[in-house]
Structure 1
Amino acid sequence: MREDLITLSKREIERLRIIHRVMGKQMTQVKASELLGITDRQVRNIIGKTRNNGDGAIAHGNRGRVAANKMPAELEVRIGGIVKRRYPDFGPKFASEKLEEREGIKVSKEKLRQIMIAKGLWRVRRRRKEVHQWRERKAYYGEMVQMDGSHHDWLEGRGPELVFMGYIDDATNRVFGLFYDYEGVFPAMDSLERYISLYGLPRSLYLDKDSTYKTTRQPDTDELLRGKMAETQFERACGELEIEVIHANSPQAKGRIERTFGTLQDRLIKEMRLAGVRTKEEANLFLEWYLPIYNERFSRVAREEGDLHRPLVKHINLREIFCIKGKRTINNGYIVK
């Protein structure tokens, strides 16, 4: 390109036209500042540069220069190769974290996104429009805990398909969970017992209407006499511990825990892949290390100070509560019914 040629954008050409009118006394500096969206002081600076250096001064001073912090092409190629070999299905943010943590290469999420797009490893994604109103979070830690089971191929074929029984505190986003072979009354009771042993009794549990948590049967005679609705064994156990059970009326109502499951199905799965986890036992041991790191990064401060988890009274034996209970009668023939 010839050195005496000046390349200007449409915006810069319009800016130069206005500056020439000010220099020709056809427009005031105040009016020019309004049209250009800058201060009148900046207008005076541009006029001074134009008088001293000509019309080319209207162009940005860094145009045509190589940025001082531009990444060398060799490093871009190297990074692209590493991502393609080791992190092909990682998003730019997660991949940048792993590059720094495991490869010792520090690169910003945006720069890595550009490299991945150029290599065909990432596609630009549009955000979906939110069409429902978000429910405000609870104010206190322990005020409400969302609980659900996530059925997924967590081990990506390296081991059995598992269910992640997850708990997320509504106020802080803190996550607790364990892997089980299935979602049912025993995994639900076992996981809640472990949660209580670590954190205490939450004020309420927010659940879906899976048959483990809500029954469709009619109340039996004993329940009718006590004025209670029919309940599952899990609801009965929560009632004995004075934990309020709240059932969500739609999948959208459980959006907070579903989004958390989506994040874990992305990040946790890849972390377990890198660690070579193959069994349920290894996966649960991995969670003991991983979840504190996850909570440190993704949890938030509750609106109000204080922990509403209640301590477990010493005389309460959780094993006597988290079990299957039923009432039986003995007739005159000493037969149990």
Structure 2
Amino acid sequence: MTKREVQKLIVINKTIDGILTIREAAQALNLSERQIFRLKKGVKEQGESFVIHKNRGRKPANAIPEDVVRRVIDLKQNKYQDANFSHFRDLLEEREGIILSYSSVYRLLTSAGIQSPRNHRKPPKVHARRKRKPQAGLLVQIDCSPFEWIPSMGQLALHGAIDDATGQVLALYLTDNECMEGYFELMRRIIQNYGIPLSLYTDRHTIFVSPNKDKLSIEEQLEGKTVNQTQFERAMSELGITIINIDLLRLKAVSKDCGKPFRID
């Protein structure tokens, strides 16, 4: 099973056991309530295999050929760089003989890191706090805060974890510096006392995400190349835990308003 399928199975089993409501499960998996009903019924009748995607290993019949993908990206970057996505789609059809839907063009270009130019950009939106998860265990926030926590002992790194839904502090651990040992100890205590969480909310420290993750070119991604996971990522993946990385710059901006060392919004 993929990590996503493991997550589905965990949540669906919780609905079967009456721990989660249909609405809460739909919010946790970002699915409709109708899909949750279907998954619940399928797991009850057919078992765990029901959550495995039936097209695993098959190339979609409507997949865009890789040479077309490369050509579309090259045309946007070098020939039609000033055209917005909608106009660019029309130009592809009229001048290049490439017929694609707007959604396909949008997906290809945004995946390549290309944004649609706009004549009048809207002012940036004021940050709105994210709603907490509906139930404990769906999301755990972990972070580290250096400070002189114990007088006369100098600066120490306090690793901490809180549950997103309840705000409960799940674990704390002091070390000399922010390190993988500190985060592994947090996870050991969390799992021992509360069970395995569905996902973790972290910053982009190299403990959580490889510094090379964002350096792959489009060509390398099309060739199927990936970046090796960090040791912490691999361990969480084996447990079926998804790591959600928040941008560090955004984290700093939010922390000015928040004032709490372990609350990441």
| TM-score, normalising length: structure 1 | 0.34
| TM-score, normalising length: structure 2 | 0.43
